[in-house]
A and B are shown apart, each in its own frame.
Chain A
Amino acid sequence: MSDSTAIAPGAPEAAHHDHPPYQRHHFETVEQQADATNFAMWLFLLTEIMFFGGLFTAYLIYRNWYYPAFVEASHQLNIFWGTANTAVLISSSFTMAMGVWCAETRRRSGLVLCLVLTFLLGLVFLGIKSIEYSEKIEKHHVPGFHYSVSAFIDPQSDPEIYKEYHDKPMPLDMARHTELYFFLYFAMTGMHALHMIIGIAILGFMIFKARAGAYTAGHVTFVENFGLYWHFVDIVWIFLFPLLYLISRHAN
């Protein structure tokens, strides 16, 4: 009874209200639609936090279990490239944020420029990552049949790393566990890179739409939510970088 009286008043006027073409009919206002979409995007990002969280937890546990192997294996990573990539990714987050601002203030060419810069910086990140990956392939540090522990059983066989860290030789049973480090390294940076590739593909699509003026006519939800995704990928790297590259520099 109370239900029917709650719905009835105001229903005739609310049923057909004027709204812009981008507002779905089932939303009361544009703000309500924007809030609902924003909420949905964050729910998606929560599933992503849980997904990467599982990988980080695995890394945390295995690093504690096989500590010497994880320390020496991480000495193989190049801090210069890691730092450069962090700067590249942070810059791309900045250009993306500026893109959202351009869309909100209806600057079409500014938006296209920001999206193109974000796109290019994303490609630079992947380019640097591929330099790092190819080094791992050359050294047989990719987990699998061709994995080589020689750099960890006999650190002096890898003079470039040895002159910086002076690692002690590890017994074979511990040296074997460096493969686990590289497995997690490729799983985590690989999943991160996959997210970058997906993001770059969506950016390419958005650049075409933005040139036609799609996001600079008042409806910025898509750009905003893509921005959330792109910044999330940035945050994942903000934690991957110190955990994989930096924290084992002094640990011995």
Chain B
Amino acid sequence: MSEHIEHGTQHGAGHTEHEHHVTPPIVYLVIFGCLLVLTGATVGASYIEMGVFNPIVAILIGVVKATLVILFFMGVKYSTRLTKLTVGAGLFTFLVLIGMTLSDYISRAWGRW
């Protein structure tokens, strides 16, 4: 499924960088199909009455779609540990941003606007 292109440079001990990974078109095509199906699913789900679960389902499907894009279209699955750590740190900081802000709002004037 996957091919590797070497750039003809030395790969001696102590080199942490890895060879360039080329994702084959079939992977992109499958992910593209999944994304379209999930788009249909999220629209379909919005037509079903689920109460508080409507936004939860919508966000869950969004998270799955974003994960597919990040892992395959953006190639994080095949990238260096440094990139994986960077992406993880970004998502973590984003959750801290939302979590801390919400905890502040909820504990101060919630319901007294």
Main secondary structure of the interface of B (DSSP, over half): helix
> In the complex, which residue of chain A has the Cβ closest to the Cβ of B29?
A94
Nearest CB of A to B33, in Å: 9
The one of B10, B22, B28, B97 in contact with A105, judged by C-beta atoms closer than 8 angstroms, is B22
Nearest CB of B to A33, in Å: 9
Interface residues on A, range: 35 or more
The one of B65, B70, B94 in contact with A53, judged by C-beta atoms closer than 8 angstroms, is B94
B38-54 vs A, CB cutoff 8 Å, 1 = contact: the mask equals 01001101111111001
Chain A residues whose C-beta falls within 8 Å of the C-beta of B35 in the assembled complex: 90, 93-94
With contacts A39-B82, A231-B74 taken as known, whether A31 is within 8 angstroms of B18 at the C-beta atoms is yes
**Interface: A197 (CB within 8 A):** no
Q: Which residues in chain A, 61-99, are within 8 Å of chain B measured between CB atoms?
A: 61, 65-66, 79, 83, 86-87, 90-91, 93-94, 96-98
Number of A-B contacts (CB under 8 A): 159
The one of B54, B66, B87, B102 in contact with A250, judged by C-beta atoms closer than 8 angstroms, is B54
Distance A219 CA – B19 CA, assembled complex (angstroms): 14
Distance A247 CA – B19 CA, assembled complex (angstroms): 43
Segment of A40-48, A136-144, A150-158, A207-215 in the binding face: A40-48
Nearest CB of B to A251, in Å: 7
**Interface: A191 (CB within 8 A):** no
**Interface: A35 (CB within 8 A):** yes
Chain B residues whose C-beta falls within 8 Å of the C-beta of A218 in the assembled complex: 7
Chain B residues whose C-beta falls within 8 Å of the C-beta of A242 in the assembled complex: 42, 46, 55, 58-59, 61-62
**Interface: A238 (CB within 8 A):** yes
Main secondary structure of the interface of A (DSSP, over half): helix
Chain B residues whose C-beta falls within 8 Å of the C-beta of A166 in the assembled complex: none
Interface centre among A32, A42, A241 (most CB of B within 10 A): A42
Interface centre among B17, B24, B48 (most CB of A within 10 A): B17
Chain A residues whose C-beta falls within 8 Å of the C-beta of B62 in the assembled complex: 238-239, 242
Distance A96 CA – B59 CA, assembled complex (angstroms): 25
Chain B residues whose C-beta falls within 8 Å of the C-beta of A65 in the assembled complex: 113
Nearest CB of A to B72, in Å: 8
With contacts A39-B83, A101-B23, A101-B24 taken as known, whether A50 is within 8 angstroms of B94 at the C-beta atoms is yes
Distance A57 CA – B70 CA, assembled complex (angstroms): 21
**Interface: A235 (CB within 8 A):** yes
B9–A57 CB distance below 8 A = no
Chain A residues whose C-beta falls within 8 Å of the C-beta of B59 in the assembled complex: 239, 242-243
> In the complex, which residue of chain B has the Cβ closest to the Cβ of A65?
B113
A53–B74 CB distance below 8 A = no
The one of A30, A42, A56 in contact with B87, judged by C-beta atoms closer than 8 angstroms, is A42
Distance A98 CA – B31 CA, assembled complex (angstroms): 12
Chain B residues whose C-beta falls within 8 Å of the C-beta of A28 in the assembled complex: 15
A104–B20 CB distance below 8 A = yes
Chain B residues whose C-beta falls within 8 Å of the C-beta of A249 in the assembled complex: 46-47, 54
Distance A57 CA – B91 CA, assembled complex (angstroms): 14
B97–A30 CB distance below 8 A = no
Q: Assuming A60-B102, A97-B73, what are 18 further A-B pairs, CB within 8 angstroms?
A: A29-B15, A32-B17, A35-B82, A39-B86, A42-B90, A46-B90, A46-B93, A53-B97, A65-B113, A97-B31, A101-B22, A105-B22, A227-B73, A243-B59, A246-B46, A247-B58, A249-B54, A250-B54
Q: List 14 A-B contacts (CB under 8 A).
A: A32-B17, A49-B91, A56-B98, A60-B98, A60-B102, A66-B113, A94-B29, A94-B32, A105-B22, A231-B69, A234-B69, A239-B66, A242-B46, A250-B54
